[in-house]
């Protein structure tokens, strides 16, 4: 595993897009676009306009894709996928290399189950993201909201509503 001193990634300037004459409006989003105007100072590489992205700002191969703690992030989207990833991490060295990230679309109940499984197997998860108030609500529930009465009150498709 790479030591923390070796993980320090290189700094690079922010590659700003000049957005001339816009004090009150913002038309150009702050992401890089290659300048193509014939008189553009940034295209001509005037120093006062700032740096352009060029080859050479990249990090070393060993450090690319790693987080600041030295672990490689792995996205997990379901329980079977989580079990598979945990099965692949058999040794402690493997567990220290990877950092699991639960997909943002996973709901609170499934996320809670996934966290319990990860805690049992000593796997590190980056985005636990459990709101303690929501956990209390799910723990107290026994049936689906509304129950059987809610389905009986639903109107049939094409039926007229009563006033």
Kindly tell me if the per-residue pLDDT of 16 is higher than 80: no
Q: What is the pTM of this model?
A: 0.58
Count of domains observed in the chain: 1
Is residue 102 assigned to a domain? Answer: yes
In a domain, 111, yes or no: yes
State the pLDDT at residue 144: 52
User: What would the mean pLDDT of 84-111 be, rounded to a whole number?
Assistant: 90
Q: Give the domain extent around 131.
A: 68-140
Q: Is the pLDDT of residue 114 over 90?
A: yes
Proportion of the chain in helix, strand, coil states, percent, rounded to 5 = 30, 5, 60
Asked if residue 48 belongs to a domain, the reply is: no
157 domain residue, yes or no:
no
């Amino acid at each position: 595993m790479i030591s923390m001193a070796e993980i320090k990634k290189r700094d690079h300037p922010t590659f700003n897009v000049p957005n001339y004459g816009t004090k009150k409006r913002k038309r150009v989003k702050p992401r890089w676009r290659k300048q193509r105007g014939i008189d553009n100072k940034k295209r001509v590489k005037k120093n006062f306009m700032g740096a352009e992205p060029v080859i050479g700002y990249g990090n070393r191969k060993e450090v690319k894709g790693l987080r600041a703690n030295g672990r490689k992030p792995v996205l997990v989207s379901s329980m079977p996928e989580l079990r598979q990833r945990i099965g692949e991490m058999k040794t402690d060295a493997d567990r220290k290399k990877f950092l699991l990230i639960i997909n943002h679309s996973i709901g609170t109940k499934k996320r809670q189950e996934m966290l319990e499984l990860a805690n049992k197997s000593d796997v590190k998860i980056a985005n636990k993201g459990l709101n303690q108030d929501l956990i209390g609500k799910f723990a107290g529930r026994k049936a689906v909201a509304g129950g059987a009465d809610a389905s009986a009150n639903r109107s049939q498709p094409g039926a007229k509503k009563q006033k």
